[in-house]
């Protein structure tokens, strides 16, 4: 597992959660597995930011995830915009020791993830 950190600007409203889900490169939900003798399903991660908006989560590096959907990225949802639209960031988690700042891991969706971490 690799630690990824983020901060919600302006603090944290009550009942706010950060939901981190595995998706394919088009943004569709994906089922992923960590291989080996005892393969495990990669599960969504939910964390509660502290009063300053800071959060951190332990995530499986994308290179260790096998999925029938092909390449995967993590979708990080940090609440909703004023119009109700989900605020989402897509990240590619490296297999190097963290912690890593979410902004340094961002990628764009498409046929192959592109961004600072690829």
Q: What is the pTM of this model?
A: 0.82
Please check whether residue 28 is in contact with residue 69, taking contact to mean a CB–CB distance below 8 angstroms. Answer: yes
Tokens of 43: 């599960």
Specify the pLDDT at position 63.
93
Each of the 118 residues of the chain gets a pLDDT tens digit; together they read 788 888 776 655 556 789 999 999 999 999 999 977 777 889 999 999 888 888 999 999 999 999 999 999 999 998 777 888 888 999 999 999 889 999 999 999 975 565 544 3
Number of domains making up the chain: 1
Give the C-alpha distances (Å, rounded to integers) separating 86 from 13, 19, 57, 78, 82.
15, 11, 19, 7, 9
Beta strands in the chain (DSSP E): 2-7, 18-24, 32-34, 40-41, 45-47, 54-59, 65-67, 72-80, 86-91, 100-101, 107-108, 114-115
| Range of the structural domain that residue 37 is part of | 2-115
Specify the pLDDT at position 111.
59
C-alpha 118/C-alpha 116 separation (Å) is: 6
C-alpha 107/C-alpha 100 separation (Å) is: 14
Partners of residue 74 on adjacent β-strands: 22, 91
């Amino acid at each position: 597992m690799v630690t990824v950190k983020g901060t919600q600007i302006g603090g944290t409203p009550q009942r706010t959660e950060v939901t981190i889900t595995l998706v394919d490169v088009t943004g569709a939900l994906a089922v992923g597995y960590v291989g080996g003798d005892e393969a495990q399903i990669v599960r969504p991660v939910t964390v509660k930011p502290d009063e300053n908006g800071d959060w951190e989560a332990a995530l499986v590096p994308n290179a260790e995830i096998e999925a029938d959907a092909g390449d995967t990225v993590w979708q990080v949802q940090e609440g909703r915009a004023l119009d109700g639209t989900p605020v989402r960031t897509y990240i590619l988690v490296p297999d190097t020791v963290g912690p890593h700042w979410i902004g340094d891991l961002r990628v764009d969706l498409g046929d192959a993830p592109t961004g600072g971490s690829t």
